[in-house]
Amino acid sequence: MSPFLIVIFTLLVIYKLYKFVYDKPPNTPPGIIRIPIGGSYWMLLWGNYKFPYLTIDYYVKKLKSKVISCYMGDSFTIIVNDYKSIKEVLSREEFDGRVTTAQHIKDRAFGKELGIFFIEGPQWHEQRRFTLRHMRDFGFGRRQDKLESEIMDEMTLFLDILKNGPIYDGEKEILKGNLALFPDILYASAANNIWNIMFGRRFDRSEHDISRLLCRMSILFQRSNDPTGGAISQRSIFRYFGNMFSYTNHMKGSTTISNIIKKYLDYQKTIINENDNQGFVDRYLKKLNGDDKLDNFTEEQLIILLNDVMFPAFSAIPSVITHVIKYLMHHPRIMEKVQNEIDNVVGTGRLATWDDRKNLPYLEATIRETMRIETLTPLSITHKCLKKTTLQGYEIPANTFIFTNLAAMHHDPDLWGDPKIFRPERFLKEDGQLAKDFTLPFGFGHRLCAGETYTRYNLFGTVVLLVQNFNFFFVEGEPSSLEDKVPGIIVSPKELWIRLESR
């Protein structure tokens, strides 16, 4: 080959490489460069391998834009990082789409597009409408005296276990004397309360190993992907590398939960009659057996729907409560104020009720501040643009993936002033009452977490119970730092033993 042709070939390769690295759709937000195979994901990993979403802030500052773009593998992606842009994305129907083509998401759903988290279009609208309509009747999304009474019963049992010690072998693994393993100690009550809504029954104390298994498998599943979706979302071929890219854990966690659900569904089908109306599952099974059954209502759909709906209760609630306890332990002045408020309003002779919440503003502000500073789902669940549109003056092509960077918004100095400081007072007005809450830990719009009311009630009640009855102390050698966290779809605290002393 002549030197001239070699030069031409070299220039052509350089041009193609340059175009690949820097090219993006016209009039779209400024972007992060991309590299073959992983796209811009490599750049995020380069900045912070463990928590790649934290690298986004560097590029927001470098590109001087709160709305930026990148490539996650081959997929063009928009990342919005400020309150105004995030609120707009979550409010508009054009951005209600989901990533439905990821093979590992289909693998957990019998190779289909099922559930409620990772579907879109008429199927999502239909399943969401039915789910919200009927789950509200059992206290999910609205107050219900029966459910609140049953949750109080569960909390009474939880307190009894903490004060009087373990009985069963599973309890002895997470409660040793006055040492409790967090968040594991919270798993049984967290799983029982949501299971009760779905199946109309709770696991009794001898069955708590099942409750804890559900939560542990949920944690295993969600930790198999970082908030960006991870390498396995970029290239489905990585499924064949075993657990190198956490695919094995992904499937083990999801399949174990689905198998448990299937087992109890089979039992539920043998006892249900036309008068049964104990939980959401009864309603769905009647729909399956009714004359008006629709194509999207199947047993497989019900299994994955239950998996999706219960997943946050299994993993998120224990994680948030553990974050709250750790922050209070690191800030004894705030702990003292919270305990004094509870003592003055609730006292020591009873559990707090939902009606007490309005009289415990500092406690509520502390929970809000914890969910702000420790954004549980930093990038939420990926959205997708359903048709060509615009956002903040930029053109957004159809099928563009969209990350709502809740972590960045919750740490935006323009919104919070001193976002790195743990300061519950930011959520209070001068008279000590709660101010407007600008956080979005449960999302917003049509994709708003349906369990927000339910979750806030459980967080409130459990935190009150714990700080009302105990003082907390770190155990030497345990992961006590606020930075001791594990990546995943949910950023969760590392497991740690905490010493409890009755007040």
Distance CA 110, CA 206 (A): 32
Give the integer Cα–Cα distance in Å for 57 and 66.
9
In whole angstroms, give the CA distance from residue 306 to residue 102: 20
DSSP code, position 490 = S
Q: What backbone torsions phi and psi does residue 486 show, to the nearest 5 degrees? A: -115, 130
Task: Identify the H or E element spanning 180.
Answer: strand 179-182
Asked if 475 and 497 count as a contact pair (C-beta separation under 8 A), the reply is yes
**CA distances from residue 430 to 51, 418, 424, 433 in whole angstroms, order as listed:** 37, 18, 13, 7
Sequence-distant (≥ 6) Cβ neighbours of residue 471 within 8 angstroms: 500, 501, 503
SS3 content of the chain, % helix, strand, coil (to 5): 55, 10, 35
For residue 123 the two structure tokens come to 């199927």
Query: 215 labelled as ligand-binding?
Result: no
User: Pairing between strand 75-80 and 401-404?
Assistant: parallel
- Measuring CA to CA, which residue among 262, 248, 260 is closest to residue 301? 262
Judge contact between 454 and 139, C-beta under 8 A.
yes
* DSSP SS3 for 246: coil
CB 496 within 8 A of CB 330: no
Amino acid at 398: A
Q: Which residues touch 348 (CB under 8 Å, ≥6 apart)?
A: 468, 469, 503
Is residue 20 packed enough to be buried (19+ CB in 10 Å), middle (13-18) or exposed (0-12)?
middle
What is the Cα–Cα distance from 443 to 446, expressed in whole angstroms? 9
Q: Would you tell me how many other CB atoms lie within 10 Å of the CB of residue 349?
A: 5
CA 321, CA 328: separation in Å to the nearest integer?
Answer: 11
Task: Determine phi and psi for 394, rounding to 5 degrees.
Answer: -100, 150
Are residues 349 and 419 in contact, defined by beta-carbon separation less than 8 angstroms?
Answer: no
**SS3 call for 178:** coil
Q: SS3 for 38?
A: coil
Give the pair of three-digit tokens for residue 478: 């345990």
Rounded Cα distance between 315 and 257, Å, is 12
CB 142: neighbour CB atoms within 10 A? 12
Beta carbons of 406 and 380 less than 8 angstroms apart: yes
Can you say which residues are annotated as belonging to the binding site for heme? 449
Residue list for the binding site: 449
